[in-house]
Structure 1
Amino acid sequence: MASDLDFSPPEVPEPTFLENLLRYGLFLGAIFQLICVLAIIVPIPKSSEAEPAEPRNVEVSRRPKAVVPSASKRPKKETKKKR
């Protein structure tokens, strides 16, 4: 009865090329996500050699904007004729 039991490890087939590609692609994607999260969390110090940006003149930076009627405030159609 003890000789009937097979305790050898099951045969696992070798991974195919596409399975390997998927595995390494997932690893690269995870590393990229970790880098992106660390870039958000860890601030990058500004270098002292960089020249400060010149403040823009307020009058020059403001441009008149054209008034665009919004979709909710359309002019009502006149149903009656003007006499």
Structure 2
Amino acid sequence: MSVDLDLSPPEVPEPTLFESLLRYGLFLGAIFQLVCILATIIPTSKSHEQSESVQPNDTRSSDPNRKTKIPAPQTRQKMKKESKKKR
């Protein structure tokens, strides 16, 4: 009843050049994705926010008598509607 068990680790072949390139390419892709995700999460620098705050954002406060502009309908949309009516 004595059974000879081979407990040595299985032989793993050496990775080929293509497998090595694929492995490192996947690592670089993962690092690039993490950098992109972190760039969207981390807020921008303070110097960028300060330069935006210097410019006047609200023109209504400086000229209260100025009328608000009503956006004119786009001519392309008018042309589409007219061409549909002609059909």
The answer to whether the superposition gives a TM-score over 0.5 is yes
Once the two structures are overlaid, the 10-residue window that deviates more, 10-19 or 39-48, is: 39-48
**Which structure is higher in RCO with an 8 Å CA cutoff and minimum separation 6?**
2
Query: Equivalents in 2 of 1:5, 1:66: separation in Å?
Result: 82
Give TM-score scaled by structure 2 length.
0.59
Of residues 50, 74, 80, the one that matches 2:84 is 74
Aligned identity (percent) is 53
Query: Equivalents in 2 of 1:73, 1:30: separation in Å?
Result: 51
For structure 1, list consecutive stretches of 5 or more residues without a partner in the other structure: 56-63, 78-83
Query: Equivalents in 2 of 1:19, 1:42: separation in Å?
Result: 35
The 1:75–1:46 alpha-carbon spacing in structure 2 relative to 1, beyond 3 Å, is same
Give TM-score scaled by structure 1 length.
0.62
- Say which structure is richer in helix: 2
The 1:31–1:67 alpha-carbon spacing in structure 2 relative to 1, beyond 3 Å, is same
The 1:45–1:15 alpha-carbon spacing in structure 2 relative to 1, beyond 3 Å, is same
What is the correspondence of 1:2-81 to structure 2 with a 5 Å cutoff?
2=3, 4-47=4-47, 67-68=75-76, 69-70=79-80, 74-77=84-87
RMSD over aligned CA atoms reads: 3.2
Q: How many matched pairs?
A: 69
Runs of at least 4 residues of structure 1 off by over 6 A?
A: none
